[in-house]
Each structure stands twice: as structure tokens, then as C-alpha cells.
Amino acid sequence: QFLTESTLITVISFPLSLLLIQWVLPYLNRFMGKTLIFNPAAQSDLLGLLLVLLIFVSILAGLYPALFLSRINLVKALKGEKVINTSRWNFRSWLVTFQYAVTISLIFAILVIEGQMQYIKKSDPGYEREYVLRVDIPRNSMSDTYKNELLSHPNVMKASYSSRIPTGRLADNWRTRFIKGDSAETINFRLPMISVDPDFLDTYAIDLIAGENFRENKMTVLDGNTTVPGQYIINESAAKALGFIDASEIIGEELIYGSTKGPIIGVMEDFHFESLHSQIVPMLLMFHDDFRHISLKIGTKDIPATLAHIEDTYAMFDAETTVRYHFVDELFDEQYQKEERLSTMIKVFALIAILIGCLGLIGMVGFIIETKVKEIGVRKVLGASSQNIWMLIGNQFLVLAGIAFLLALPISYWLLNGWLNEFVYRIDISVLTIIAPVIVTILLTFLVTSYQTLRATRVNPVAYLKDE
């Protein structure tokens, strides 16, 4: 009978679940940036898997009540004796404990991931990213004319050519030798290079802490394998890696970088060129015409007109292609899309887990009250208050929540701490973050059990004891 009922309910729910999947799938594809297709009629493997799942859920849903009731002693039941195991440690209690553990784990994950994402958003990467655009360069045009035409708009305040911009990758790396006296020693660390023009530091508000910036008449022009004069600006990390704690002391020292040779003319502050997943590494700037982008610092007023000016200017130099531009702060956020998606997914799962947990808790509390109606009636007759009745019922759920906390915390902490270790710059998991999930769980338990208990205590004890 139970198997038949559970199968019937599952079969009715099955098409509803398919409709729900069809409704949710477009939103999921948009959220994940995927093109998942759900068509069981055309996907035989998927259809077979769904049918197996249908049978499995039907059997699982009906098996427990069938086995549970088959163990009941009918003679005792007809005599009105206690036939249901209401002890604290039974299968139902462990199911509730599992629900608590899942809920606590998900709430803990939300707090940790949200804390890290807020830390990233509020962190200073060391460069200006607000109202800065990365704009394509027209084909065969890296002239000052294009740059000056962009700067002609009153809302375009700064412009700079570069091979890469912050939020990109430090991929270009040439062989580097540091000149000491009459010898040149190959350095034992990676020193990636960015080609920039003299306006790069000003556009991104990166400060020089020693030396000077590039000059317009000092561009490095490569000539095959011939060694040509060059000038370099390095960051603090590069200066320290070369053995100079005081940045001013490295000014004037010479490098051989690829097929260029020349002095280090400046040292800039360290900044996060790549994401916070990575450590700040030594890097080098060179005034060299291998440019791929132009960065524009714009004002906050009349942004649509400014973007229209950028599009029109690009069309003047290249009418056959369409300009592409991106705000640097959006590119910065894109570095953490995976984490943002993870955070959103965990929030959804946590909400579902809390709703299911509350529904299960309501049913569990109702079941316990039903098995203790006579005891509740006797206690009320003897003067027990609503608080005493709540302690009788709610106390065991608090114990289960405590056990779930002890079981879930070590595993959750280990997993989330491992996730945080993927970031070089990360938050520490605070004591409040650890205890907050169990506080939330206890409050939910208190609200659910209080409501059920209050309903039970308002019933006249005579209604409970009239058969005695």
C-alpha cells in the first residue's frame, strides 16, 4: 500500500518536475553562460536515467513507512499501549541532524564566500579602475592623431597606449640579465614586461616612488636581434628581488632585457596587475611601440556622449570594423565570476535547504506532540507552563542542532579554508563566522517549535485526557 501511494505521488510529481526544469533552464544557461539542452524525448540516455530515478525515489519514499509499520505489534496497538519508538536516538533524529548539518554548512559557506567577495570588492588593487576604459586600436593606426582625437572630447581626461592593461595576464617575458660591474648575471626569477607610453602611470594613477617617468623622445625601437638602447621602470617587488631594499639605490643600474640594454630610470609602487588569486610579482615597463589597447580615463558626466565620441573617432580611422571597449572595473569583476556564481548557487541551495529543513522540522515537532498529547495534558493539569512544555519538546532539537554543528563545522571549515587558500590575499575565518550558522539554526528551531508548542498548549487538557 505504501509503495503504491509513494509511486502514485512520484509519478504525479514527475511531469511537474520536468516542466519546472524547462522553466528554470533558460535562467540557468544565462547565469552559467552555457547552452544546456533538456530534451528527454531526443536524449535516450537521459530518459533512461530519469526513469531509473523515478523508480528509485518511489521505492525509497514508500520503503521506510512500510518497514516501520510492519514492525508494530498489533496486539499492543489495539490495547492502546506505546508501540512507536519516541526515544531521542532513532532514525528520524539522525535525519533531522543531517538536515541541520547541511543547513549549517551552507550558511557557513555563504558567510565565508561573501566575506571574501566583499574583501575583494573593497580592496585597493593599487591602480585606478573607476571610469577607465580599455578601447581597441584601429587597424594600422597607433598614431598620436587617434589619441589626440579621443582627448579632444572634454570628458576624456587621460589616454595611454599599452600592450596589456591591469586585469590582464603578465605573459610577455624576455631573457633578463642584470649588469654588475663588467659582468652581466642572468636573473633567477621571471620578469614579465608591459609595453607602455609615458602616460600609462598617470592614466592608472600609479605612483613612482623613485626615479622618473619615460620621456616622449626616448622610445625603444627594436631592430631584429641587434641590441638597442632601452629604458625601464620596474616595480618594488622587482627592485627587492634584485637585492635593493631602498628603491632609490637601483636607479641608474642597467639591465639587458631581450635585445635591449639600458638603465632602470624609475621604480613604481606595487599593484595587482593580475587578480587577487595571484601574488604581486616582479614586472617591468618599457616604452616600446608594441601596443594593443588604448586606456581612457573619463569623467563621470555625460558618459553616453563620451562613448559615442569614442565610437565616432574609431570609425574615422577604421570604418570597416566596430570598436570594442570595456570598463576596467567590469574587467576587474570578471576575474571573480567563478566565485560570484559559486556564491549565488550556494545561496539558492541554502534557501532550499532551510525551507526543506523547516518543513521537516514542522512535521517532526507535530509528530512528537502527537505522541505526547497525554503527557502534555497531564503536565498542564499539574500546572506546567508553556515554557515547560516547550522545553519538553524543543530541548531535544537543540541537542540535535548542537551535534550537527560539531559534525558539520570541521568538514566545512576544512573545505572553505582550502577554497580561501586559492587566494593569495584572503580573509581569516572569524569566531563570529563560525558560530553564526548555529545561532541562525537555533533561532529557526525556536520559532518553529514555539509555534507548534503554543498551538498544543492552547488546547484544553480535557481534550487530551477524555479517553483516560
- Return the higher-pLDDT residue of 16 and 372: 16
Helices (H), 123-193: 144-151
Angle, CA of 400, 406 and 412, to the nearest 5°: 120
Q: Which residues contact 10 (CB under 8 A, 6 or more apart)?
A: 54, 57, 58, 61
pLDDT at 354: 82
pLDDT at 83: 46
How far is it, in rounded angstroms, from Cα 235 to Cα 268? 5
Under 8 Å between Cβ of 412 and 104: yes
The percentage of the chain sitting over the pLDDT mark of 70, rounded to a whole number, equals 87
Letter for the amino acid at 74? L
What's the mean pLDDT when you consider all of the chain? 83
Among 222-226, 316-320, 445-449, the range scoring the smallest mean pLDDT is 222-226
Q: Is residue 2 predicted with pLDDT exceeding 80?
A: no
Rg of the chain (C-alpha set)? 34
> What is each CA distance from 97 to 170, 209, 260, 396, in whole angstroms?
49, 58, 67, 11
Q: Is residue 338 predicted with pLDDT exceeding 50?
A: yes
Query: Considering only CA atoms, which of 330, 337, 338, 343 is closest in space to residue 115?
Result: 343
- How does 434-457 read in b/e, with b if 16+ C-beta sit within 10 Å? bebbbebbbebbeebbbebbeebb
The SS3 of residue 160 is strand
Query: Considering only CA atoms, which of 295, 274, 272 is closest in space to residue 133?
Result: 295
Q: Is residue 142 predicted with pLDDT exceeding 70?
A: no
pLDDT band per the 50, 70, 90 thresholds, residue 71: low
pTM over 0.85: no
pLDDT at 78: 47
pLDDT at 241: 93
- Return the higher-pLDDT residue of 368 and 78: 368
Query: Considering only CA atoms, which of 120, 191, 422, 153 is closest in space to residue 314?
Result: 153
Question: In this predicted model, what pLDDT tens digit does every residue of 15-30 receive, in sequence order?
Answer: 888 888 888 888 777 7
Question: In this predicted model, what pLDDT tens digit does every residue of 279-306 receive, in sequence order?
Answer: 899 999 999 888 889 999 999 888 999 9
Query: Considering only CA atoms, which of 390, 387, 384, 355 is closest in space to residue 369?
Result: 390
Helices 337-371, 373-381: crossing angle, 10 deg rounding: 70
Q: Is residue 213 predicted with pLDDT exceeding 90?
A: yes
Q: DSSP character for 168?
A: S
pLDDT at 77: 47
- Return the higher-pLDDT residue of 369 and 170: 170
Rounded mean pLDDT, 187-193 = 91
Q: DSSP character for 247?
A: G
pLDDT at 210: 94
Q: Which residues contact 420 (CB under 8 A, 6 or more apart)?
A: 112, 116, 426, 427, 429
Q: Is residue 177 predicted with pLDDT exceeding 60?
A: yes
Q: Is residue 260 predicted with pLDDT exceeding 80?
A: yes
pLDDT band per the 50, 70, 90 thresholds, residue 164: very high
Among 169-173, 206-210, 252-256, 374-378, the range scoring the smallest mean pLDDT is 374-378
Letter for the amino acid at 116? Q
Under 8 Å between Cβ of 284 and 200: no
Instruction: Name residue, grid cell 570609425.
Output: 315
Angle, CA of 303, 307 and 313, to the nearest 5°: 145
How far is it, in rounded angstroms, from Cα 331 to Cα 329? 5
Question: In this predicted model, what pLDDT tens digit does every residue of 91-141 receive, in sequence order?
Answer: 677 888 888 888 899 899 999 988 998 898 888 899 999 999 999 888 766
The percentage of the chain sitting over the pLDDT mark of 90, rounded to a whole number, equals 34
DSSP character string of 388-407: HHHHHHHHHHHHHHHHHHHH
Query: Beta 193-196 vs 284-287: how paired, if at all?
Result: parallel
Under 8 Å between Cβ of 210 and 221: no
Rounded mean pLDDT, 428-438 = 91
Q: Is residue 75 predicted with pLDDT exceeding 60?
A: no
Q: Is residue 254 predicted with pLDDT exceeding 70?
A: yes
pLDDT band per the 50, 70, 90 thresholds, residue 68: low
Q: Is residue 202 predicted with pLDDT exceeding 90?
A: yes
- Return the higher-pLDDT residue of 244 and 138: 244
Letter for the amino acid at 176? T
How far is it, in rounded angstroms, from Cα 338 to Cα 342? 6
Query: Beta 260-268 vs 325-327: how paired, if at all?
Result: unpaired
How far is it, in rounded angstroms, from Cα 333 to Cα 130? 12
Q: Is residue 434 predicted with pLDDT exceeding 50?
A: yes
pLDDT band per the 50, 70, 90 thresholds, residue 168: confident
pLDDT at 318: 86
Rounded mean pLDDT, 406-428 = 91
State residue 173 phi and psi, 5-degree precision: -145, 125
Rounded mean pLDDT, 374-383 = 70
